[in-house]
Amino acid sequence: MKFNLLELHDPAEDTSVRKLLRVYSVVPRFAKTSNKLRLEQAIKVNTFLRKVNTQLKANVSRTWKVDWIKSTGYYFSPRAYVDWFLGKASIPLIALKQLKMFGFEKEVNDLIENCDFFCSTSARPFRMPHTIGTDLAYLTGAILGDGHIRKNAYNISFEVSERWLTLKFIAAIGRIFEHKLSLRERLDRGKIRHLCCCQNKPAVRIFTTFLSIPRGKKSHIIVVPDLIKKFNKNIRQAFLEGVFDTDGGKRSGGFGLTLASKLFCDQVWQLLKDFDIRVYKDEWVNRKYNKSYYGLYFYKNNPNLGFILHE
């Protein structure tokens, strides 16, 4: 099951060319690079564009680009899209997507599925995943636990008291997106907190569009993403590892979670049951906040807990 990266375009948010380019563009730029795969992709993209241009000038019109650019819904200067064909500027995926109207649907889909590196016009290239791997599943669980995606900005923040956990989060981001994060620290009521911040618009779109992570305050509305439930055992294990690394703790003489979302609690309970883990549920009302909370707990003598407990 693969992500269709062409679906990441959101006209409600990408209201200008500048905002559009900050989302994602295919890398065609022939700049000097030590990355062989990135250079091969650049050549592949540029070869495809030249092929399209040759065919459409012969079969449609020498001015076919005018209709093509208008169909994107954005204004690009003639100089800009000339540079796409020369390999001097990155081409937005929305422009590639619109080539389908000229009969290139299969070619566009094949091209995107075989491209790994993307960028905005001014940013360095980053890698985009085409499907869920264990790192992405782990990050999904960790963000649902102790992460936060800002409501009005493309920003994923992650802050915990354990240094090793922040480093684990940073390493997973690096492996998936080739995006380097810095570990920071702050003092909170005499205790050190470890945090990192991922300001990567495409990464945010992956988590919010395909993996159903809400922006802003989320504790009462989170769910297990449908894609996680449909994937194989290793993906579901990695997701649960992310959830328990961040939200797990001692409960009722054993180990478990305290959650504000009943639906998420029920769904995690079912995932654990699928691994033959005997898990118990409870719920209560917090009198101070007059809110219901939901709990899961199990005992550590279960042989199937290795992927959750790292002690």
Q: Is residue 48 within 8 Å of residue 56, measured between CB atoms? A: no
Domains in the chain: ranges and CATH: 5-125 (no CATH), 134-298 (3.10.28.10)
pLDDT single digits (tens) 248-298: 988 877 889 999 999 999 999 999 999 988 899 999 998 888 889 999 998
Residue 97 has a pLDDT of 92
Q: What is the pLDDT of residues 81-118, one digit of tens each?
A: 888 888 888 888 889 999 999 999 999 999 999 988 88
Q: Give mean pLDDT, residues 158-164.
A: 96
What tens digit of pLDDT does each residue of 107-156 get? Answer: 999 999 998 888 765 567 888 999 999 999 999 999 999 999 999 888 99
